[in-house]
Structure 1
Amino acid sequence: MRYLQMPDTCLYFIAIIPPEDISAEVTSFKQELADTYNTKKALRVMPHITLKAPFTINANRDAEVMKWFLNIETNSPPFETILNGFGAFDNPRNPVLFVKPEVSAAMRRLQKDILSAFKKQFPNIPVHFHEDEFHPHMTVGYRDLAYAEFEKAWVVFKDREYKSSFTIDSFCLLKHNGEHWKVTSYKTLANKDTL
Protein backbone atom coordinates (compact mmCIF):
# COMPACT_ATOMS: atom_id res chain seq x y z
CA MET A 1 0.00 0.00 0.00
CA ARG A 2 1.22 3.47 -0.75
CA TYR A 3 0.65 5.95 2.04
CA LEU A 4 0.31 9.59 1.18
CA GLN A 5 2.52 11.63 3.43
CA MET A 6 3.97 15.06 3.18
CA PRO A 7 7.76 15.28 2.70
CA ASP A 8 8.05 16.91 6.10
CA THR A 9 6.19 14.15 7.96
CA CYS A 10 6.92 10.56 8.92
CA LEU A 11 4.49 7.68 9.35
CA TYR A 12 5.01 5.09 12.11
CA PHE A 13 3.28 2.21 13.84
CA ILE A 14 4.11 -0.26 16.61
CA ALA A 15 3.66 -4.01 16.25
CA ILE A 16 4.59 -7.50 17.29
CA ILE A 17 6.43 -9.32 14.50
CA PRO A 18 6.17 -13.13 14.68
CA PRO A 19 9.17 -15.41 14.15
CA GLU A 20 10.16 -16.31 10.59
CA ASP A 21 8.45 -19.72 10.53
CA ILE A 22 5.10 -18.27 11.58
CA SER A 23 5.55 -15.29 9.25
CA ALA A 24 6.04 -17.77 6.39
CA GLU A 25 2.84 -19.64 7.33
CA VAL A 26 0.83 -16.41 7.52
CA THR A 27 2.30 -15.22 4.22
CA SER A 28 1.17 -18.49 2.62
CA PHE A 29 -2.42 -17.65 3.65
CA LYS A 30 -2.00 -14.18 2.12
CA GLN A 31 -0.73 -15.78 -1.08
CA GLU A 32 -3.65 -18.22 -1.17
CA LEU A 33 -6.08 -15.32 -0.86
CA ALA A 34 -4.23 -13.38 -3.56
CA ASP A 35 -4.28 -16.35 -5.93
CA THR A 36 -7.89 -17.36 -5.29
CA TYR A 37 -9.76 -14.21 -4.26
CA ASN A 38 -7.87 -11.43 -6.06
CA THR A 39 -6.58 -9.59 -2.99
CA LYS A 40 -2.89 -8.76 -3.04
CA LYS A 41 -2.45 -5.73 -0.76
CA ALA A 42 -1.91 -7.80 2.39
CA LEU A 43 1.16 -9.33 0.72
CA ARG A 44 2.86 -5.92 0.80
CA VAL A 45 2.97 -5.81 4.59
CA MET A 46 4.95 -8.20 6.78
CA PRO A 47 2.84 -10.34 9.14
CA HIS A 48 2.29 -8.50 12.41
CA ILE A 49 -0.07 -7.76 15.29
CA THR A 50 -0.63 -4.01 15.59
CA LEU A 51 -0.20 -2.53 19.05
CA LYS A 52 -0.38 1.15 18.01
CA ALA A 53 -2.06 2.07 14.74
CA PRO A 54 -0.20 4.22 12.20
CA PHE A 55 0.40 7.82 13.21
CA THR A 56 1.93 10.79 11.39
CA ILE A 57 4.37 13.20 12.98
CA ASN A 58 6.65 15.98 11.76
CA ALA A 59 9.92 14.61 10.39
CA ASN A 60 11.89 16.92 12.67
CA ARG A 61 10.52 14.91 15.62
CA ASP A 62 11.99 11.61 14.41
CA ALA A 63 14.61 11.52 17.21
CA GLU A 64 11.88 12.25 19.76
CA VAL A 65 9.81 9.30 18.49
CA MET A 66 12.84 6.98 18.68
CA LYS A 67 13.76 8.11 22.20
CA TRP A 68 10.14 7.79 23.36
CA PHE A 69 9.84 4.30 21.86
CA LEU A 70 13.03 3.04 23.47
CA ASN A 71 11.93 4.39 26.85
CA ILE A 72 8.38 3.02 26.91
CA GLU A 73 7.81 1.40 30.30
CA THR A 74 5.75 -1.74 29.85
CA ASN A 75 6.47 -3.76 33.00
CA SER A 76 5.64 -6.79 30.87
CA PRO A 77 7.70 -9.95 30.96
CA PRO A 78 7.81 -12.11 27.80
CA PHE A 79 4.62 -14.10 27.26
CA GLU A 80 3.27 -16.74 24.92
CA THR A 81 0.56 -16.05 22.39
CA ILE A 82 -1.49 -18.69 20.63
CA LEU A 83 -2.74 -18.23 17.09
CA ASN A 84 -5.98 -20.15 16.80
CA GLY A 85 -7.93 -20.21 13.55
CA PHE A 86 -9.23 -17.29 11.54
CA GLY A 87 -11.46 -14.34 12.16
CA ALA A 88 -13.04 -11.56 10.15
CA PHE A 89 -14.26 -8.01 10.33
CA ASP A 90 -17.40 -8.42 8.23
CA ASN A 91 -17.71 -4.88 6.97
CA PRO A 92 -19.12 -4.63 3.43
CA ARG A 93 -17.09 -1.46 2.72
CA ASN A 94 -13.77 -2.79 4.09
CA PRO A 95 -13.81 -6.50 4.93
CA VAL A 96 -10.78 -8.00 6.68
CA LEU A 97 -9.73 -11.64 7.05
CA PHE A 98 -7.14 -12.48 9.69
CA VAL A 99 -5.33 -15.11 11.70
CA LYS A 100 -6.78 -14.93 15.18
CA PRO A 101 -4.51 -14.61 18.21
CA GLU A 102 -6.10 -15.74 21.45
CA VAL A 103 -6.53 -12.61 23.52
CA SER A 104 -4.51 -12.70 26.72
CA ALA A 105 -4.32 -10.35 29.67
CA ALA A 106 -0.58 -9.95 28.97
CA MET A 107 -1.15 -8.79 25.38
CA ARG A 108 -3.92 -6.41 26.45
CA ARG A 109 -1.68 -4.97 29.17
CA LEU A 110 1.19 -4.47 26.72
CA GLN A 111 -1.04 -2.66 24.22
CA LYS A 112 -2.59 -0.55 26.97
CA ASP A 113 0.86 0.43 28.31
CA ILE A 114 2.00 1.49 24.82
CA LEU A 115 -1.18 3.42 24.10
CA SER A 116 -1.06 5.17 27.47
CA ALA A 117 2.59 6.15 26.92
CA PHE A 118 1.73 7.43 23.44
CA LYS A 119 -1.15 9.59 24.68
CA LYS A 120 1.09 11.06 27.39
CA GLN A 121 4.03 11.83 25.05
CA PHE A 122 1.99 12.96 22.03
CA PRO A 123 -1.28 14.43 23.40
CA ASN A 124 -1.94 16.43 20.21
CA ILE A 125 -1.85 13.39 17.91
CA PRO A 126 -5.31 11.81 17.67
CA VAL A 127 -5.67 8.16 18.69
CA HIS A 128 -8.06 6.05 16.62
CA PHE A 129 -11.20 5.23 18.62
CA HIS A 130 -10.82 1.50 17.90
CA GLU A 131 -7.42 1.42 19.64
CA ASP A 132 -9.10 1.70 23.04
CA GLU A 133 -11.02 -1.49 22.22
CA PHE A 134 -8.08 -3.72 21.31
CA HIS A 135 -8.87 -6.59 18.89
CA PRO A 136 -5.53 -8.23 18.09
CA HIS A 137 -5.33 -9.80 14.65
CA MET A 138 -2.85 -10.76 11.95
CA THR A 139 -4.30 -9.60 8.64
CA VAL A 140 -4.22 -11.95 5.65
CA GLY A 141 -6.71 -10.12 3.38
CA TYR A 142 -7.97 -6.53 3.30
CA ARG A 143 -8.17 -3.21 1.39
CA ASP A 144 -8.48 -4.65 -2.13
CA LEU A 145 -10.65 -7.59 -0.96
CA ALA A 146 -14.02 -7.11 -2.67
CA TYR A 147 -16.95 -7.98 -0.42
CA ALA A 148 -18.22 -10.73 -2.76
CA GLU A 149 -14.75 -12.33 -2.70
CA PHE A 150 -14.57 -11.89 1.08
CA GLU A 151 -17.83 -13.82 1.46
CA LYS A 152 -16.45 -16.71 -0.64
CA ALA A 153 -13.15 -16.71 1.25
CA TRP A 154 -14.83 -16.57 4.65
CA VAL A 155 -16.81 -19.74 3.85
CA VAL A 156 -13.45 -21.48 3.29
CA PHE A 157 -11.48 -19.92 6.17
CA LYS A 158 -14.02 -19.59 9.00
CA ASP A 159 -13.75 -23.24 10.02
CA ARG A 160 -10.23 -23.91 8.78
CA GLU A 161 -7.93 -25.18 11.48
CA TYR A 162 -4.71 -23.36 12.13
CA LYS A 163 -2.91 -23.36 15.43
CA SER A 164 0.52 -22.12 16.33
CA SER A 165 2.19 -20.29 19.17
CA PHE A 166 5.22 -18.16 19.87
CA THR A 167 6.79 -16.21 22.68
CA ILE A 168 6.41 -12.46 22.51
CA ASP A 169 9.63 -11.08 23.94
CA SER A 170 9.78 -7.82 21.99
CA PHE A 171 7.81 -5.39 19.88
CA CYS A 172 8.98 -2.97 17.21
CA LEU A 173 8.63 0.49 15.79
CA LEU A 174 8.05 0.57 12.05
CA LYS A 175 8.45 3.57 9.75
CA HIS A 176 7.01 3.93 6.26
CA ASN A 177 9.54 4.92 3.61
CA GLY A 178 6.99 5.86 0.95
CA GLU A 179 6.92 2.35 -0.51
CA HIS A 180 6.79 -0.07 2.41
CA TRP A 181 7.14 -0.44 6.18
CA LYS A 182 10.60 -0.92 7.65
CA VAL A 183 11.44 -1.94 11.21
CA THR A 184 13.49 0.88 12.73
CA SER A 185 13.86 -0.39 16.30
CA TYR A 186 13.02 -3.26 18.65
CA LYS A 187 12.07 -2.98 22.32
CA THR A 188 12.72 -6.09 24.40
CA LEU A 189 10.29 -7.04 27.14
CA ALA A 190 11.88 -7.25 30.59
CA ASN A 191 12.23 -10.72 32.01
CA LYS A 192 10.89 -10.92 35.57
CA ASP A 193 14.20 -12.43 36.69
CA THR A 194 16.06 -9.33 35.53
CA LEU A 195 13.79 -6.77 37.18
Structure 2
Amino acid sequence: MPRSMQKYFVAIVPPEEVQAQAQEIKEGVRDKYNAKHALKSPAHVTLKMPFVWNEHKEGKLVGLLEDFFKERSPFPVEFKGIGRFGRRIMYARVHGGNELIETQEAFRHYCRRELKLNEELSDKAFTPHVTLVYSDLKKHFFDECWAMLKERGFYGKMEVRQVALLKKVNYRWQVLEMIDLDEKIDLG
Protein backbone atom coordinates (compact mmCIF):
# COMPACT_ATOMS: atom_id res chain seq x y z
CA MET A 1 0.00 0.00 0.00
CA PRO A 2 1.55 3.35 -0.99
CA ARG A 3 2.50 5.54 1.94
CA SER A 4 -0.26 8.08 1.25
CA MET A 5 -2.98 5.39 1.42
CA GLN A 6 -4.22 4.84 4.97
CA LYS A 7 -6.96 2.83 6.69
CA TYR A 8 -10.06 4.52 8.12
CA PHE A 9 -13.48 3.56 9.41
CA VAL A 10 -16.61 5.34 10.64
CA ALA A 11 -18.28 4.52 13.95
CA ILE A 12 -20.34 5.67 16.87
CA VAL A 13 -18.00 6.14 19.83
CA PRO A 14 -19.91 5.87 23.12
CA PRO A 15 -19.51 8.27 26.06
CA GLU A 16 -16.89 7.87 28.77
CA GLU A 17 -18.95 5.70 31.14
CA VAL A 18 -19.60 3.14 28.38
CA GLN A 19 -15.95 3.39 27.23
CA ALA A 20 -14.78 2.71 30.79
CA GLN A 21 -17.03 -0.35 31.12
CA ALA A 22 -15.74 -1.79 27.83
CA GLN A 23 -12.12 -0.95 28.70
CA GLU A 24 -12.43 -2.72 32.05
CA ILE A 25 -13.73 -5.88 30.34
CA LYS A 26 -11.05 -5.76 27.63
CA GLU A 27 -8.28 -5.33 30.21
CA GLY A 28 -9.71 -8.14 32.35
CA VAL A 29 -9.74 -10.48 29.34
CA ARG A 30 -6.17 -9.44 28.49
CA ASP A 31 -4.98 -10.05 32.04
CA LYS A 32 -6.75 -13.38 32.51
CA TYR A 33 -6.56 -14.88 29.00
CA ASN A 34 -3.83 -12.90 27.21
CA ALA A 35 -6.31 -11.82 24.51
CA LYS A 36 -5.53 -8.18 23.78
CA HIS A 37 -6.56 -7.42 20.19
CA ALA A 38 -9.75 -5.66 21.37
CA LEU A 39 -7.57 -3.04 23.09
CA LYS A 40 -6.36 -1.69 19.73
CA SER A 41 -9.41 0.54 19.32
CA PRO A 42 -11.78 2.51 21.52
CA ALA A 43 -15.19 0.93 22.15
CA HIS A 44 -17.33 1.69 19.10
CA VAL A 45 -20.29 0.69 16.94
CA THR A 46 -19.01 0.35 13.38
CA LEU A 47 -21.08 2.12 10.71
CA LYS A 48 -18.58 1.55 7.86
CA MET A 49 -15.95 -1.17 7.96
CA PRO A 50 -12.29 -0.21 7.51
CA PHE A 51 -11.42 1.14 4.07
CA VAL A 52 -8.37 2.62 2.35
CA TRP A 53 -8.29 6.36 1.53
CA ASN A 54 -5.62 8.77 0.34
CA GLU A 55 -4.29 10.53 3.43
CA HIS A 56 -3.72 13.72 1.39
CA LYS A 57 -7.49 13.82 0.77
CA GLU A 58 -8.59 13.47 4.41
CA GLY A 59 -10.19 16.92 4.27
CA LYS A 60 -12.36 15.83 1.35
CA LEU A 61 -13.36 12.67 3.23
CA VAL A 62 -14.35 14.68 6.33
CA GLY A 63 -16.36 17.08 4.13
CA LEU A 64 -18.21 14.19 2.46
CA LEU A 65 -18.99 12.66 5.85
CA GLU A 66 -20.22 16.04 7.17
CA ASP A 67 -22.48 16.37 4.10
CA PHE A 68 -24.13 13.05 4.92
CA PHE A 69 -24.43 13.32 8.70
CA LYS A 70 -25.71 16.92 8.78
CA GLU A 71 -28.86 15.50 7.18
CA ARG A 72 -29.34 12.93 9.99
CA SER A 73 -31.00 13.65 13.33
CA PRO A 74 -29.63 12.50 16.70
CA PHE A 75 -31.12 9.25 18.02
CA PRO A 76 -30.95 7.14 21.19
CA VAL A 77 -28.92 3.95 21.55
CA GLU A 78 -28.93 1.44 24.39
CA PHE A 79 -26.21 -1.05 25.29
CA LYS A 80 -27.82 -4.08 26.89
CA GLY A 81 -26.50 -7.59 27.24
CA ILE A 82 -23.75 -9.75 25.78
CA GLY A 83 -23.75 -11.56 22.44
CA ARG A 84 -21.32 -13.47 20.28
CA PHE A 85 -20.50 -14.32 16.71
CA GLY A 86 -19.94 -18.06 16.81
CA ARG A 87 -16.96 -18.97 18.96
CA ARG A 88 -14.81 -16.09 17.73
CA ILE A 89 -16.07 -12.72 18.95
CA MET A 90 -17.96 -11.55 22.05
CA TYR A 91 -19.69 -8.20 22.16
CA ALA A 92 -22.06 -5.84 23.94
CA ARG A 93 -25.46 -5.81 22.28
CA VAL A 94 -26.55 -2.46 20.83
CA HIS A 95 -30.20 -1.49 20.46
CA GLY A 96 -30.80 1.62 18.40
CA GLY A 97 -34.20 0.98 16.92
CA ASN A 98 -35.10 1.93 13.37
CA GLU A 99 -33.03 5.14 13.48
CA LEU A 100 -29.74 3.25 13.82
CA ILE A 101 -30.63 0.69 11.15
CA GLU A 102 -31.88 3.37 8.73
CA THR A 103 -28.82 5.57 9.34
CA GLN A 104 -26.41 2.71 8.65
CA GLU A 105 -28.32 1.60 5.56
CA ALA A 106 -28.44 5.12 4.09
CA PHE A 107 -24.75 5.59 4.95
CA ARG A 108 -23.85 2.26 3.31
CA HIS A 109 -25.44 3.46 0.05
CA TYR A 110 -23.83 6.90 0.40
CA CYS A 111 -20.38 5.31 0.85
CA ARG A 112 -20.81 3.27 -2.31
CA ARG A 113 -22.23 6.14 -4.37
CA GLU A 114 -20.31 9.21 -3.15
CA LEU A 115 -17.11 7.81 -1.61
CA LYS A 116 -16.79 5.02 -4.22
CA LEU A 117 -16.12 2.46 -1.47
CA ASN A 118 -16.71 -1.26 -1.83
CA GLU A 119 -19.46 -2.82 0.22
CA GLU A 120 -18.30 -5.48 2.64
CA LEU A 121 -20.55 -8.38 3.63
CA SER A 122 -20.68 -6.92 7.16
CA ASP A 123 -21.91 -3.59 5.70
CA LYS A 124 -24.89 -5.44 4.23
CA ALA A 125 -25.51 -7.73 7.25
CA PHE A 126 -25.36 -4.95 9.85
CA THR A 127 -25.45 -6.23 13.45
CA PRO A 128 -24.84 -3.27 15.76
CA HIS A 129 -22.44 -4.23 18.54
CA VAL A 130 -19.41 -3.18 20.60
CA THR A 131 -16.68 -5.82 20.31
CA LEU A 132 -15.23 -6.81 23.68
CA VAL A 133 -13.25 -9.97 22.80
CA TYR A 134 -11.73 -10.72 19.39
CA SER A 135 -10.74 -14.05 17.92
CA ASP A 136 -7.27 -13.86 19.51
CA LEU A 137 -8.84 -15.54 22.58
CA LYS A 138 -7.56 -19.14 22.70
CA LYS A 139 -10.36 -21.60 21.90
CA HIS A 140 -9.99 -23.55 25.16
CA PHE A 141 -10.76 -20.34 27.14
CA PHE A 142 -13.86 -19.43 25.14
CA ASP A 143 -16.55 -21.06 27.32
CA GLU A 144 -15.04 -19.74 30.55
CA CYS A 145 -14.70 -16.21 29.17
CA TRP A 146 -18.22 -16.34 27.70
CA ALA A 147 -19.69 -17.36 31.08
CA MET A 148 -17.77 -14.54 32.79
CA LEU A 149 -19.06 -11.90 30.34
CA LYS A 150 -22.64 -13.21 30.43
CA GLU A 151 -22.64 -13.02 34.23
CA ARG A 152 -21.18 -9.53 34.26
CA GLY A 153 -23.43 -8.10 31.55
CA PHE A 154 -23.09 -4.73 29.84
CA TYR A 155 -25.44 -1.76 30.18
CA GLY A 156 -25.56 1.86 29.12
CA LYS A 157 -27.44 4.49 27.13
CA MET A 158 -26.50 7.42 24.94
CA GLU A 159 -27.90 9.95 22.51
CA VAL A 160 -25.96 9.68 19.24
CA ARG A 161 -25.11 13.30 18.35
CA GLN A 162 -21.78 12.63 16.61
CA VAL A 163 -20.00 9.90 14.72
CA ALA A 164 -16.26 9.39 14.59
CA LEU A 165 -13.86 9.02 11.70
CA LEU A 166 -11.10 6.74 12.96
CA LYS A 167 -7.66 6.25 11.42
CA LYS A 168 -5.13 3.49 11.91
CA VAL A 169 -1.94 4.97 13.37
CA ASN A 170 0.94 2.71 14.48
CA TYR A 171 -1.32 -0.39 14.45
CA ARG A 172 -3.95 1.24 16.67
CA TRP A 173 -7.23 2.97 15.79
CA GLN A 174 -7.53 6.60 16.86
CA VAL A 175 -10.37 9.08 16.55
CA LEU A 176 -9.32 11.51 13.83
CA GLU A 177 -12.46 13.65 13.66
CA MET A 178 -15.86 13.87 15.36
CA ILE A 179 -18.68 14.70 12.94
CA ASP A 180 -21.93 16.23 14.20
CA LEU A 181 -25.39 15.04 13.33
CA ASP A 182 -28.01 17.71 12.62
CA GLU A 183 -28.89 19.60 15.81
CA LYS A 184 -31.85 21.62 14.49
CA ILE A 185 -34.15 22.73 17.27
CA ASP A 186 -37.83 22.14 16.62
CA LEU A 187 -39.59 25.28 17.84
CA GLY A 188 -42.99 23.71 17.26
Q: What TM-score, normalized by structure 2, do the two folds share? A: 0.89
CA displacement, residues 97-153 of structure 1 (integer Å, 9 cap, x when unaligned)? 111112411111121122111111133x32211211110111111041122222221
CA displacement, residues 20-72 of structure 1 (integer Å, 9 cap, x when unaligned)? 11101111111111122221111121111111000012334333212211211
2:104 aligns with 111
The answer to whether the 8 Å contact 1:74/1:113 transfers is no
Q: Does 1:53 align with 2:30?
A: no
- Give 2:19's match in structure 1, choosing from 13, 17, 23: 23
Map residues 1-195 of structure 1 onto 2, 5 A cutoff: 5-73=1-69, 75-91=71-87, 95-123=88-116, 125-193=117-185
% identical equivalent positions: 25
RMSD over aligned CA atoms reads 2.0
The answer to which of 133-142 and 52-61 deviates more is 52-61
Structure 1: distance between partners of 2:186 and 2:96:
26
Structure 2: distance between partners of 1:43 and 1:158:
20
Structure 2: distance between partners of 1:181 and 1:75:
26
Structure 2: distance between partners of 1:181 and 1:121:
24
SS at match of 1:98: strand
The answer to whether the 8 Å contact 2:69/2:181 transfers is no
- Figure out how many residues of one structure are paired with residues of the other and give that number: 187
Structure 1: distance between partners of 2:41 and 2:113:
28
Structure 2 unaligned segments of length 5 or more: list them.
none
Structure 1: distance between partners of 2:169 and 2:155:
33
